């Protein structure tokens, strides 16, 4: 959420900034609301003041044993005027808030102009895509040959966009989680954290999934308004909701493995084959809470942490900065890491690292106490995938496939797989 003051004092600048996203702010409506808000609020507060002083006087008079009947008569019509004013004010504020809460974050200067993912700008590239001297299979076929990657059984158990893994593939899937968590906690200074996978509306509002993106979520059929998490970002970031932490405690850095559940509404035709786009997938998420001055550096650092995983796995990737038209609602700047998929001869998203400025913190009331001033200030949040496990598995299956149908296991994963160096093709 943007600072409501910005809508009062710099409305046109805000509108201009948002236009880089292709977002059109209803300037006229906001200006009109603000004008009436001012008048109504002053009126309302004046009436409240009058009620307060009169009530106090009644109290005093009563304490002195005086007759309060005339005082009560005076206050009679005040009550009605006040409740009318309060209702009017509430209506104006509700409409103002509804608009403000649905406005996306302003973008960092360096975010490029653009309308779609085609306009994202490559920042860097790492690794050389391997050249194959045999016909490259996609991960579904590689998995089929190895055995242990089964979409039909998942379809029977549940439906489309789910997978069943068994044997060495299931184990490698788990090994990826362990490897990533150990790296981030052991070498990058993150604390491991375990959180609920079901969250309430306040949490989803805090990170920005609600109120605008409910259709992307799985909602529990229950009268408590609970949802499955679409990413660990939601529970982990909301750890700080309604908190004021000591400045000395910052930065707070969490690494969290969790499953993620996404309805994928509106992506019916896309990535229907394989496990690129699933309703359920695992992810190791990195979340940082930092002082405002440090958030830009923190985004670079965190992105680097995710990149290191790709490098250690020997997976070629590129880093792109998302353009104004493709960047997420809450983000002020986002880098996507895209891994090379030989079967598609292209780079596909495997991590998304974003800086949110104070946007999420304001929604969550997540603050730190400035040691110098003693005053609470909004902290900044930064997060990113480090990495998406399912897609990492896809990338390994494709990039490490062998001519004989076997799979080489990346060296860094071997300790997590009992020293196993390859997975043989299933005997037919």
Q: Which residues bind RNA (CB under 7 A)?
A: 4-5, 8, 38, 41-42, 44-46, 48-49, 51-56, 58-60, 62-63, 72, 75-76, 79, 224, 244, 367, 369, 371, 374-376
Q: How far is the CB of 81 from RNA (least distance, A)?
A: 12
Q: How far is the CB of 2 from RNA (least distance, A)?
A: 12
Measured CA distances, 279 to 195, 226, 257, 265, 268 (Å): 19, 17, 17, 10, 12
Cα dihedral value 295, 364, 284, 158, nearest 10: -150
Q: How far is the CB of 283 from RNA (least distance, A)?
A: 24
Measured CA distances, 310 to 143, 183, 317, 388, 419 (Å): 21, 12, 7, 11, 20
Q: What pairing do the DSSP bridges indicate for beta strands 333-341 and 252-261? A: unpaired
Q: Which is nearer to RNA, 187 or 247 (CB)?
A: 247
Q: Which is nearer to RNA, 127 or 292 (CB)?
A: 292
Q: What is the CA radius of gyration of the chain?
A: 27
Q: How far is the CB of 258 from RNA (least distance, A)?
A: 18
Q: Which is nearer to RNA, 41 or 414 (CB)?
A: 41
Q: How far is the CB of 9 from RNA (least distance, A)?
A: 9
Q: Which is nearer to RNA, 16 or 60 (CB)?
A: 60
Q: Which is nearer to RNA, 198 or 308 (CB)?
A: 198
Q: Which is nearer to RNA, 96 or 261 (CB)?
A: 96
Q: How far is the CB of 234 from RNA (least distance, A)?
A: 17
The rounded distance, in Å, linking the Cα atoms of 217 and 233 is 14
């Amino acid at each position: 959420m943007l600072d409501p003051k910005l809508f009062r004092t710099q409305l046109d600048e805000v509108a201009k900034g948002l236009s880089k996203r292709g977002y059109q702010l209803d300037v006229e409506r906001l200006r009109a609301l603000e004008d009436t808000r001012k008048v109504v609020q002053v009126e309302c507060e004046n009436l409240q003041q009058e009620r307060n002083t009169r009530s106090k006087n009644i109290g005093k008079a009563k304490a002195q044993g005086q007759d309060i009947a005339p005082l009560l008569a005076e206050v009679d019509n005040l009550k009605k005027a006040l409740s009318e004013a309060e209702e009017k004010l509430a209506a104006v504020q509700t409409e103002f808030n509804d608009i403000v809460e649905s406005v996306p974050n302003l973008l960092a200067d360096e975010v490029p102009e653009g309308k779609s993912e085609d306009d994202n700008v490559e920042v860097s590239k790492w690794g050389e895509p391997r050249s194959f001297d045999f016909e490259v299979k996609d991960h579904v076929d590689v998995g089929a040959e190895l055995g242990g990657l089964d979409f039909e059984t998942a379809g029977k158990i549940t439906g489309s966009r789910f997978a069943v893994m068994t044997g060495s593939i299931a184990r490698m899937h788990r090994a990826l989680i362990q490897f990533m968590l150990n790296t981030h906690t052991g070498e990058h200074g993150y604390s491991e954290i375990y959180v609920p996978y079901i969250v309430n509306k306040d949490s989803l509002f805090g990170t920005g999934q609600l109120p605008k993106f409910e259709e992307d979520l799985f909602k529990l059929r229950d009268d408590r308004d609970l949802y499955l998490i679409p990413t660990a970002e939601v529970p982990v970031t909301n750890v700080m909701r309604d908190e004021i932490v000591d400045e000395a405690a910052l930065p707070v850095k969490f690494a969290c493995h969790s499953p993620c559940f996404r309805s994928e509404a509106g992506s019916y035709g896309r990535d229907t084959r394989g496990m690129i786009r699933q309703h359920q997938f695992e992810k190791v998420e990195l979340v940082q809470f930092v002082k405002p001055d440090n958030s830009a550096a923190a985004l670079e650092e965190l992105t680097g942490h995710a990149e290191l995983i790709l490098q250690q796995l020997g997976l070629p990737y590129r880093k792109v900065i998302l353009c104004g038209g493709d960047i997420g609602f809450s983000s002020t700047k986002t880098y996507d890491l895209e891994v090379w998929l030989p079967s598609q001869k292209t780079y596909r998203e495997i991590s998304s690292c974003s800086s949110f400025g104070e946007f999420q913190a304001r929604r969550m009331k997540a603050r730190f106490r400035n040691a110098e001033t003693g005053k609470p200030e909004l902290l900044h949040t930064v997060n990113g995938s480090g990495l998406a496990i399912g897609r990492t598995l896809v990338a390994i299956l494709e990039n490490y496939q062998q001519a004989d149908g076997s799979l080489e296991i990346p060296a860094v994963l071997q300790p997590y797989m009992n020293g196993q160096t390859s997975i043989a093709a299933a005997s037919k």
